[in-house]
């Protein structure tokens, strides 16, 4: 049986139990789960998934669960870890189920268990909740995206959201479709819905894609729209905030470092200080992509602005290696040549 508990209360259970869990303290609705067991121990997963952005072996990346109820659990299933407040703190992808002579049924799985402790409860969604099937339609949407069938992908993502309207992965999928189509307001609306439930995203790839998408939209709206200057200042500030969040997930991101460099370079309210910040972001881009045309050009402009003509020439030349026809890089070199002739 389960002793009902509000947020912040301890869970007590014996045997098979049903309860409600929450994604955050502000989540009033929650969703029903069956308690399946407790965390027994942690270890390190040395086999990194292909979509791991940082490609670093992390501690507490593999877990062993002692199951009190092993029924309806199979390899590939998704389980969740909850803390004493009934808040979801991690997601487990089950990769093995076996029986131990001394401990009974055990399960092992991969995930990010940094915020977990031994004896935290492990739960599974109740089978009568329609929202558990949302991931099936989301997966179909991903498949149709890969096949280039955008219309069918949109239909599948919307089916997923009909079953689970807070499903962040489906909102992200729709957001990227709309962004590719240039419908930025629609795209950002989907991203905001996903952002409201970012706590449900346990994969770094999903979190990064969401935050990168939000940063990119704010970048485009700031520099490629006809919005009033005051509005663009607000969007620029938001873009910086989302970009910084994205870098916490993937510090080496070429795209986000470039956007942040442009945000700070174009801000110019404190030119000296912010130009240095912009420079550092552009240099981070070049560590991963030395021939990044736009980052090289931006650095050339920065150094030209601060009268360091030697470095301005160097980065303009590097920009042309990436794109021999780049107009702005050629223009800077022309200015530098004119200056040298006048000396």
CATH of the domain at 120: 2.40.10
Each residue's pLDDT tens digit, 242-259: 999 999 999 999 999 999
What number is the average pLDDT over the span 232-239? 94
Reported in sequence order, the residue ranges of the chain that DSSP labels E, i.e. its strands, are: 17-21, 31-43, 62-67, 78-82, 88-100, 104-110, 121-125
What number is the average pLDDT over the span 120-131? 75
Q: Which pLDDT belongs to residue 295?
A: 96
Looking at the structure, tell me whether residues 110 and 31 fall in a common domain.
Answer: yes
Q: Bigger pLDDT: 62 or 128?
A: 62
Judge whether 242 and 215 are in contact, CB under 8 Å. yes
Q: Which pLDDT belongs to residue 337?
A: 84
Looking at the structure, tell me whether residues 33 and 122 fall in a common domain.
Answer: yes
Q: Residue 297: which H helix or E strand, with range?
A: helix 293-305
What number is the average pLDDT over the span 90-111? 92
Tokens of 92: 């487990």
In the chain, what percentage of residues exceed pLDDT 70?
A: 86
Question: Residue 163: inside a domain, yes or no?
Answer: yes
Each residue's pLDDT tens digit, 258-284: 999 999 987 544 456 788 999 999 999
What number is the average pLDDT over the span 142-151? 94
Looking at the structure, tell me whether residues 121 and 149 fall in a common domain.
Answer: no
Full residue range of the structural domain in which residue 32 is found: 17-127
In the chain, what percentage of residues exceed pLDDT 90?
A: 62
Question: Residue 189: inside a domain, yes or no?
Answer: yes
Q: Which pLDDT belongs to residue 154?
A: 96
Q: Residue 87: which H helix or E strand, with range?
A: none
Q: Is residue 56 scored above 80 in pLDDT? A: no
* Last residue in a domain, options 169, 202, 235: 202
Number of domains in the chain: 2
Which residues, listed in sequence order, are joined to residue 101 by a DSSP beta bridge?
Answer: none
Q: Quickly state the pLDDT bin for 113 (edges 50, 70, 90).
A: very high
CATH number for the domain that contains residue 176: 1.25.40.10
CA distance 134 to 167: 8
Question: Residue 134: inside a domain, yes or no?
Answer: yes
Q: Which pLDDT belongs to residue 53?
A: 52
């Amino acid at each position: 049986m389960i002793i009902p508990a509000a947020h912040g209360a301890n869970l007590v259970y014996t045997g098979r139990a049903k309860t409600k869990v929450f994604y955050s303290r502000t989540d009033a609705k929650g969703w029903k789960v069956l308690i399946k067991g407790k965390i027994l121990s942690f270890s390190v997963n040395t086999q990194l998934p292909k979509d791991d952005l940082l490609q670093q072996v992390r501690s507490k990346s593999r877990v062993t669960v002692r199951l009190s109820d092993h029924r309806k659990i199979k390899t590939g299933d998704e389980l969740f870890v909850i803390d004493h407040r009934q808040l979801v703190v991690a997601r487990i992808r089950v990769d093995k189920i076996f029986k131990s002579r001394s401990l009974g049924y055990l399960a092992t799985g991969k995930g990010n268990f940094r915020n977990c402790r031994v004896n935290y409860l492990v739960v599974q969604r109740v089978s009568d909740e329609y929202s558990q099937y949302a991931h099936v339609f989301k997966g179909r949407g991903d498949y149709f995206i890969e096949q280039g069938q955008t219309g069918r992908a949109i239909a599948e993502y919307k089916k997923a959201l009909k079953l689970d309207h807070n499903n962040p992965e489906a909102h992200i999928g729709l957001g990227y479709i709309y962004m590719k189509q240039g419908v930025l307001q629609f795209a950002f609306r989907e991203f905001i819905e996903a952002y409201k439930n970012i706590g449900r995203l346990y994969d770094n790839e999903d979190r990064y894609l969401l935050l990168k998408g939000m940063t990119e939209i704010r970048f485009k709206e700031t520099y490629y729209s006809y919005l009033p200057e005051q509005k663009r200042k607000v969007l620029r500030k938001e873009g910086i905030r989302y970009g910084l969040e994205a870098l916490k997930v993937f510090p080496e991101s070429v795209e986000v470092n470039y956007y942040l460099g442009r945000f700070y370079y174009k801000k110019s309210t404190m030119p000296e200080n912010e130009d240095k910040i912009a420079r550092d972001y552009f240099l981070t881009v070049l560590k991963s992509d030395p021939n990044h045309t736009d980052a090289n050009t931006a650095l050339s402009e920065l150094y030209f602005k601060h009268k360091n003509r030697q470095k301005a020439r160097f980065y303009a030349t590097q920009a042309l290696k990436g794109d021999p026809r780049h107009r702005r890089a050629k223009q800077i070199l022309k200015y530098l040549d004119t200056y040298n002739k006048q000396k």
